[in-house]
């Protein structure tokens, strides 16, 4: 059964001068216990999607034009603030990207972890603190450091505190926005392993937002590649990694240095992502795509099924 279903989500940011098209008709489905990887570059709309699910879209500028986000059959976009407060943390928790700004500098890390526990489990402070100590150990920080402030930790450790806060209430759905990007590989491996174990133990589903294709390959069941607000390829990890259909996916793979081979020169995707206030008329990747032709510049391709449960948005599927 699907725990989360996103249907035709279209989100813009209204600024004084123009409209930023952040998400364009995004549809995704997650079944219980599954890990879905969301891969894309900065500005592709990954974090916007996470914020929509959490109900944290900036109210002043963010506009949800169309779409539904069904969590356990109920549309999260119709919930009021009070209901969302209950859901956030206990049902759906989020690990934020930047540990430098997501922790409160004037509270000890123990207080910040305990806060989440007290808010949702309504337990005593002492109990919450012992839970906090447990969580700290779980993410690889000695429990003695419970009473230290964020500035006393390294960047990697701060991120582990953020992860501890998110996991403290055993959420059913975890949205991890680049959870290990700031961490070292050995710690990243430990943290991902820990998240996997926890996931299995509590049957948690995870939306793992990342740009690291290695992390996706090792941790996800399905993957969605997002480019300029659109899902360009979507399918099982094996399909997308082994039988990739979209030129952008291909470009991403060519950009990463290979650990197992001596490559003299990398092969990056030329240029930059298009300006989201002024997207190209046809396919949004056509400006950087080596295969683009007239049709690509004229019309926008649909997300089409290329084989069972494997979708790609390209006229020139291979």
Taking the complex as a whole, how short is the minimal distance between the CB of residue 186 and other proteins, in angstroms?
Answer: 5
Evaluate whether 138 touches 168 at the Cβ level (below 8 Å).
no
Distance of CA 30 to the CA centre of its chain: 13
Among residues 8, 124, 197, 258, which is the contact residue for other proteins, using CB under 8 A?
Answer: 258
Among 11-19, 24-32, 120-128, 217-225, the segment contacting other proteins (CB under 8 A): 217-225
Structure tokens at 178: 């680049």
Structure tokens at 67: 């779409």
Q: How many residues bind other proteins (CB under 8 A)?
A: 49
Taking the complex as a whole, how short is the minimal distance between the CB of residue 121 and other proteins, in angstroms?
Answer: 27
Among residues 1, 16, 17, 42, which is the contact residue for other proteins, using CB under 8 A?
Answer: 42
Nearer to other proteins, 62 or 156 (CB): 156
Taking the complex as a whole, how short is the minimal distance between the CB of residue 245 and other proteins, in angstroms?
Answer: 16
d(CA 281, CA 302): 14
Taking the complex as a whole, how short is the minimal distance between the CB of residue 253 and other proteins, in angstroms?
Answer: 7
Nearer to other proteins, 167 or 240 (CB): 240
Q: Closest Cα partner for 6 from 58, 77, 56, 61?
A: 77
Among residues 167, 216, 224, 244, which is the contact residue for other proteins, using CB under 8 A?
Answer: 216
Nearer to other proteins, 59 or 260 (CB): 260
- For 45, other C-beta atoms within 10 Å of its C-beta total 25
Evaluate whether 95 touches 179 at the Cβ level (below 8 Å).
yes
Strands 74-75 and 62-71: antiparallel
Each residue 151-170 as x (binds other proteins by CB under 8 A) or -, in order, gives ---xxx--------------
Nearer to other proteins, 73 or 105 (CB): 105
Number of H helices, E strands in the chain: 11, 12
Evaluate whether 167 touches 174 at the Cβ level (below 8 Å).
yes
**Contact between 255 and other proteins (CB under 8 A)?**
yes
d(CA 13, CA 51): 13
**Contact between 243 and other proteins (CB under 8 A)?**
no
**Contact between 141 and other proteins (CB under 8 A)?**
yes
**Contact between 187 and other proteins (CB under 8 A)?**
yes
SS3 of 177, please? strand
Q: Closest Cα partner for 88 from 103, 105, 100, 76?
A: 76
Among 14-22, 48-56, 164-172, 189-197, the segment contacting other proteins (CB under 8 A): 189-197
Structure tokens at 132: 């906090």
Evaluate whether 4 touches 50 at the Cβ level (below 8 Å).
no
SS3 of 231, please? strand
**Contact between 218 and other proteins (CB under 8 A)?**
yes
**Contact between 79 and other proteins (CB under 8 A)?**
no
**Contact between 212 and other proteins (CB under 8 A)?**
yes
Footprint on this chain of other proteins (rule: CB under 8 A) = 41-43, 140-142, 154-156, 184-190, 192-193, 211-219, 237-238, 241-242, 251-260, 262-263, 265-269, 272
């Amino acid at each position: 059964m699907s725990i989360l279903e996103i249907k035709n989500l279209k989100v813009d940011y209204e600024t004084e001068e123009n409209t930023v098209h952040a998400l364009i008709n995004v549809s995704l489905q997650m079944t219980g216990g599954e890990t879905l990887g969301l891969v894309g570059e900065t500005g592709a709309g990954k974090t916007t999607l996470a914020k929509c699910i959490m109900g944290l879209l900036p109210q002043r500028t963010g506009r949800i034009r169309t779409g539904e986000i069904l969590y356990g059959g109920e549309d999260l976009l119709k919930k009021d603030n009070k209901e969302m407060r209950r859901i956030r943390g206990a049902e759906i928790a989020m690990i934020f990207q930047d540990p430098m700004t997501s922790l409160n500098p004037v509270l000890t890390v123990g207080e910040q972890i305990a806060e989440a526990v007290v808010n949702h489990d309504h337990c005593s402070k002492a109990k919450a603190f012992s839970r906090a100590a447990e969580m700290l150990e779980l993410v690889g920080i000695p429990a003695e450091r419970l009473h230290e402030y964020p500035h006393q930790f390294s960047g990697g450790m701060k991120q582990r505190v953020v992860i501890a806060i998110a996991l403290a209430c055993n959420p059913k759905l975890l949205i991890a926005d680049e959870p290990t990007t700031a961490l070292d590989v050995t710690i990243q491996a430990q943290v991902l392993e820990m998240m996997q174990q926890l996931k299995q133990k509590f049957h948690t589903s995870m939306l793992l937002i990342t740009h690291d294709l290695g992390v996706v390959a090792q941790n996800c069941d399905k993957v969605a590649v997002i480019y300029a607000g659109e899902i360009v390829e979507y399918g099982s990890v094996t399909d997308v990694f082994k039988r990739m259909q979209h030129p952008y996916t291909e470009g991403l793979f060519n950009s990463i240095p290979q650990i197992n081979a001596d490559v003299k020169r990398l092969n990056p995707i030329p240029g930059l992502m298009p300006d989201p206030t002024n997207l190209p008329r046809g396919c949004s990747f056509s400006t950087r795509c080596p295969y683009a032709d007239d049709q690509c510049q004229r019309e926008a391709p649909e997300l089409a099924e290329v084989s069972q449960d494997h979708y790609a948005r390209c006229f020139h599927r291979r």
